[in-house]
Every structure is written in structure tokens, then in C-alpha cells.
Structure 1
Amino acid sequence: MKIGILGSGAVAQALAAGFLQHGHPVMLGSGTPAKLADWAAQHPGAKTGSFADAAGFAELAVLAVKGTAALAVVRAAGAERLAGKPVIDATNPIADAAPVHGVLQFFTGINDSLLEQLQHEYPALKFVKAFNSVGNAFMVDPQFQGGAPTMFICGNDDAAKQAVRGIVEQFGWEAADMGRAEAARAIEPLCMLWCIPGLLRNEWAHAFKLVKPA
């Protein structure tokens, strides 16, 4: 499956490398594609281009940018180029403000989420929240005691969630479908929880796992 990634930062590059490792053709999209020359040289076979190029290339797209830029990047990519395709939303609504006692500040409220804002602005797109609740070093093939960690996903389109579940499991995670877009109100704050040990104690090597009765 051809993967178009909207973004060029650490998360975008980590996921791009993972998709390449697992045999998917990849195009990394950026507002300034020239800055990806070094990355492309280190990843033979990968393509780079604009946000619009990556959206057009994709059979499955990934939105991996700062939360404050998410709506504008989808606009730059062109919703018409993403129509009908699963779009993994790996963003978090982190505000441009300092953490408070290790807790990130969000620009969304408790009864809102960035995924819902994206879905409201672009109702024809098939957004699925995933890969927002762990650091980029562990997004692909994580190795933890206790087995595969859990990746929580949600979205309004069942077929898109099934496609994303396949990617999540290929990348070594257990997928837990939490339902429709409103569930992102709970999934996005997992980013806050994941970051607290790091921001307070410089502990960044962990992930979440949903456990069930035997």
C-alpha cells in the first residue's frame, strides 16, 4: 500500500522509516520539500514532495505535524486528494505553552478533540486517530516486557479503521478500537500522561497496555 505522509518532523520520519521497513512505498510531504534531501538520501526508494504530492501519492495517508498546523496542512494537501482514503491522525492538540508540573497544555477542551475538529472541517475524509500516545522511538516494532503494548484508535469509518488496525498490528501493536471520533477526547490526553514521567524524571521508555480478565 502506498503511504503518503503529511509532515517531515521526528514522528513523520519515524513512521516513514517503519513503513519502508515493512515494505510500503512512501512519500514524505513537506511545506519545504528541499529540506528533506538528506533524509531521502539516507532512505533509498523513498519519495519526497509537497503536501499535495504526498496526498496524491497515498493510498493511505498519515497526518504527522504539530497540532496547531494540522488543519492548515490538510488544506494545503487538498481534501480532494485525500477523499476516500484512510487518513491516520497522529497529531495532538499541544498548545504553544510550557507544561505545568510536567503536564502538557492542550488547546482543546475536555469535550472536544483535534480529531473532531479535523473531521468537522473535512467531513468527507476518513480520519483515524492512532500513533499519538507514544514517543516516536517506540512507534514501530516496540519491545517491552509483558508483550505487545496497546495502540488506541478511533474514527467514524469502519473500513478506514480496519485498514489502520492492519498497519498498527503490522508495526507490532495490539489495536484497541475505542469507537467513533468523540473517543479522541480520551485518547489524545494519553499523550499528556505518556509525557509526564519524561518531563518530570526524564523517563521516556514506556507504553500503555489494555489488560483484560483471563
Structure 2
Amino acid sequence: MTTLAVLGNGRVGSSLAAALTRAGHEVSVADRAPGAAADAAWKAQVVINATPGAGSLERLAALREELRDKILVDVSNATVDGPDGLPAGLVYPGSSLAEQLQEALPRTRVVKTLNTMLFPVMTAPDTLTRAPDVFLSGDDAQAKQMVRELLTDLGWRKEWITDLGGIQTARATEAAILFVPHVIRSSGFAPFAISIAR
């Protein structure tokens, strides 16, 4: 059992918290209030960032001490939204939210994952008609192994998990969010994941 804190209580955070609780982990959920987030992060071994990505850096940088020596699993995408509310651009072009978090939190082990799919797939990957992929980006091998185990608890098979390498590879998966609005406009809001055909 791992002690986890999920920062963000929207659809993504609530879904992850419920699924990880069902898997036997001790999970607390904090809204965006600074006090709640600090308290939850302080007590956890692993912290999941499920806050809106455009404001994540500022929020999490304020938790530097609470996140010291912790694993931070970043599932958010930092986007600029278009008039229809769907992603139209990246907040950190040429970089990524994950890289910005790692730079701001040098004593925290940041791992990027679960950001290349609609949120229902995060906790139910086997509901898709084809095998999906989930990607890992991060500089710490031990942290990525812990995240692999959490992904397995969420229903991801080992062969569906691809380690892309260091934290800089997160800029590729974060850029994939730009597919999402076009897919939604074309096919509707049906669960999907961006995967690699092999």
C-alpha cells in the first residue's frame, strides 16, 4: 500500500483517487486551496498533480518543502484554450509543464504520465477496442518504477507502458494534447488514447 495525495478534485483527480483507493492504496484528495494541498502533500509518499495545467507550476512551486524527496506524478497538460474551451496551444512551447516542475522542484522526482488520453481511459484502459499506450517521462528510474506499479494497479498491462526516457521527453507527450480538440470535433467526446501502432 502506498500513501498518495491527489491534488485536484475535478473529474481527473476524483477518478484517479477512486480507482487507486479501490486498488488498496491510502489516498487523500486536496482541492486547490493552498492549506489543503500542503497538508495532503506533506503526508504522502506519492503526489499526483491533477490540477489545471496552466496554473500547476505556480501552485506546486509553493509546495517545495512539502514535495521534497517525494515522487510527483504529473498528469496535467498546460494549454491555452480556444474560444470553444478546447486546447488551442501550449503554455510552454519548446518545453513542457513536467520540465518546468522539475526545474522548480529540484528535490522532487517528477514523472509525467497519463496525459495522452481522455480521462476515462486513465482508470479503465481495457474499455478501448484496441490496446492503448501510456507513456512515462522522468529522470529517476526508481520513481518511474513506482509509477509503473501504480499504472498496473489502474489496469494498465505492462506491455502497454512505454518509458520514453528523461523528463525532456514530456514535451512530446504534452504536445500530443493538440490532437484532442480535432479528434473531439471529428468523433465526439468518446474515450480514446493516443497510441503507437507496432
Instruction: Normalising by structure 1, report the TM-score.
Output: 0.82
Counterpart CA distance in 1 for 2:87 and 2:79 is 11
Structure 2, unmatched stretches of 5+, are: none
Which structure has greater strand proportion? 2
Matched residue, 1:119: 102
1:56-205 alignment runs, 5 A limit: 56-76=42-62, 78-98=63-83, 104-109=88-93, 111-142=94-125, 143-147=127-131, 149-173=132-156, 174-205=160-191
Query: Is this contact kept in 1: 2:47–2:73, CA < 8 A?
Result: yes
Q: Kindly provide the amino acid, as one letter, of the partner of residue 66 in structure 1.
A: P
Higher Cα Rg, which structure:
1
Structure 1, unmatched stretches of 5+, are: 34-48
**Is structure 2 residue 18 aligned with structure 1 residue 17?**
yes
- Count of residues in correspondence between the two structures: 193
Counterpart CA distance in 1 for 2:182 and 2:68 is 36
Query: How big is the alpha-carbon RMSD for the aligned residues of Structure 1 and Structure 2?
Result: 2.1
Query: Is this contact kept in 1: 2:41–2:66, CA < 8 A?
Result: yes
Shift in CA distance, 25/209, structure 1 to aligned 2, threshold 3 Å: same
Counterpart CA distance in 2 for 1:86 and 1:103 is 27
Counterpart CA distance in 2 for 1:30 and 1:205 is 25
Counterpart CA distance in 1 for 2:153 and 2:70 is 19
Identity %: 30
Instruction: Normalising by structure 2, report the TM-score.
Output: 0.88
3-state DSSP of counterpart to 2:65: helix
